[in-house]
Structure 1
Amino acid sequence: MLRLAYVGGLGLMAGPAGTHLKADGPAKVLRVHDRGTPGEQKEAFRDGWRTHGAELVGTFDTTVGDGQLDGVVVCCGKNGDDLQIIAGLTQLLHERSSGQPFIVHMSTVSAGFTAAAEAYCKQHNVGYVNYPLTGGPLGAQLGGGHPNGMLILASGDHDLYSKLEPTLLVLGRPKYYGESVSAGAETKLIGQHLVFNGCTGICTGAALYAECFAGGAMGGTQQSEYFDFLNGGAGGTRQWDVALSKGVTDDDWNSGFMVHHAVVDAIYAAKLAQEKGLPRLSVQPMINIALAFSFLLQKFPDGPVATHAIAREMIANASQELDAFMTANGAYAPDIDTCLASAIASLPPAVQETVLLDVSVGNFSA
Structure 2
Amino acid sequence: MLRLAYVGGLGLMAGPAGTHLKADGPAKVVRVHDRGTPGEQKETFRDGWRSHGAELVGTFDATVGDGQLDGVVVCCGKNGDDLDIIAELTQLLHERCSGQPFIVHMSTVSAGFTVSAETYCKQHNVGYVNYPLTGGPLGAQLGGGHPNGMLILASGDNDLYTQLEPTLLVLGRPKYYGESVSAGAETKLIGQHLVFNGCTGICTGAALYAECFADGAMGGPQQSEYFDFLNGGAGGTRQWDVALSKGVKDADWNSGFMVHHAVVDAIYAAKLAQEKGLPRLSVQPMINIALAFSFLLQKFPDGPVATHAIAREMIANASQELDGFMTANGAYAPDIDTCLSSAIASLPPSVQETVLLDVSVSNFAA
CA distance in 2, matches of 1:11, 1:54: 16
Q: Matches of 1:240 and 1:2 in 2, distance apart? A: 40
TM-superposition CA deviations, 1:270-329 (whole Å, max 9, x none): 000000000000000000000000000000000000000000000000000000000000
**What is the aligned partner in structure 2 of residue 218 from structure 1?**
218
Residue 99 of structure 1 and its aligned partner are, at CA, apart by 1.4
Q: CA deviation at 1:115?
A: 0.1
Distance in 1 (alpha carbons) for counterparts of 2:157 and 2:63: 24
CA deviation after TM superposition for structure 1 residue 104, in Å: 0.1
2: CA distance, partners of 1:127 / 1:308: 38
Whole-Å separation in 2 of the counterparts to 1:227 and 1:57 = 47
Find the aligned partners of 2:252 and 2:55 in 1 and give their Cα distance.
Answer: 36
User: Structure 1 stretches of 5 or more lacking a match?
Assistant: none
Q: Deviations over 1:31-77 (max 9, x none)?
A: 00000000000000000000000000000000000011000000000
Give the Cα separation in 2 of the matches to 1:226 and 1:307: 21
Secondary structure in 2 matching 1:38: coil
Deviation string for 1:310-362 (max 9, x for gaps)?
00000000000000000000000000000000000000000000000000000
Which string of whole-angstrom CA distances, capped at 9 and with x for unpartnered residues, describes residues 181-233 of structure 1? 00000000000000000000000000000000000000000100100000000
Structure 1 distance, partners of 2:224, 2:53, is: 45
Q: Which residue of 2 aligns with 1:185?
A: 185
State how many pairs are aligned.
Answer: 366
Residues 100-153 of structure 1 deviation map (CA, whole Å, 9 limit, x = unaligned): 100000000000000000000000000000000000000000000000000000
Instruction: Output the CA distance in 2 between the equivalents of 1:73 and 1:325.
Output: 39
Q: Secondary structure at the match of 1:5?
A: strand
Using the alignment, how far apart are the partners of 1:84 and 1:288 within structure 2?
A: 30
Distance 2:264 2:229 in 1: 32
1:241-262 residue CA offsets vs partner (Å, 9 max, x unmatched): 0000000000000000000000
SS at match of 2:25: coil
- The secondary structure found in structure 1 opposite 2:199 is helix
List aligned pairs for 1:96-115, cutoff 5 A. 96-115=96-115
Match of 2:130 in 1: 130
Could you tell me how far 1:98 is from its partner in structure 2? 1.1
Structure 2 CA distance, aligned partners of 1:305 and 1:140? 21
Query: How far off its partner does 1:4 sit?
Result: 0.1
Counterparts of 1:351 and 1:67, CA distance in 2: 34
SS in structure 2 at match of 1:69: coil
- Partners of 2:13 and 2:247 lie apart in 1 by 22
Distance in 2 between residues matched to 1:129 and 1:204, nearest whole Å: 38
Q: Which residue of the partner structure matches residue 93 of structure 1? A: 93
Runs of 4+ in 1 over 4 A off after TM superposition: none
TM-score, length-scaled by structure 2: 1.00
C-alpha distance in 2, partners of 1:222/1:288? 29
Whole-angstrom distance in 1 between the partners of 2:192 and 2:41:
26
What secondary structure does 1:128 align onto? strand
What is the percentage of aligned positions where both structures have the same residue? 94
Alpha-carbon distance in structure 2 between the residues aligned to 1:293 and 1:103: 31
- Say if 2:26 is the partner of 1:56: no
For structure 2, which runs of at least 5 residues remain unmatched after alignment?
none
Offset of 1:166 from its aligned partner?
A: 0.2
Aligned partners of 1:187, 1:285: CA distance in 2, in Å? 18
1:161-194 deviation per Cα after TM superposition (whole angstroms, max 9, x unaligned) = 0000000000000000000000000000000000
User: How far apart, in 1, do the equivalents of 2:224 and 2:171 lie?
Assistant: 33
Residue 76 of structure 1: SS of its match in structure 2? coil
Structure-1 separation of matches of 2:98 and 2:104 = 18
* In structure 2, C-alpha distance between the alignment counterparts of 1:287 and 1:98, rounded to whole Å: 45
| CA–CA distance in structure 2, aligned partners of residues 217 and 142 of structure 1 | 36
SS of the counterpart of 1:72?
A: strand
Per the normalisation by structure 1, the TM-score is 1.00
Name the counterpart of 2:7: 7
Distance 2:78 2:301 in 1: 20
For 1:323 and 1:98, how far apart are their aligned partners in 2?
A: 57
Secondary structure, aligned partner of 1:184: helix
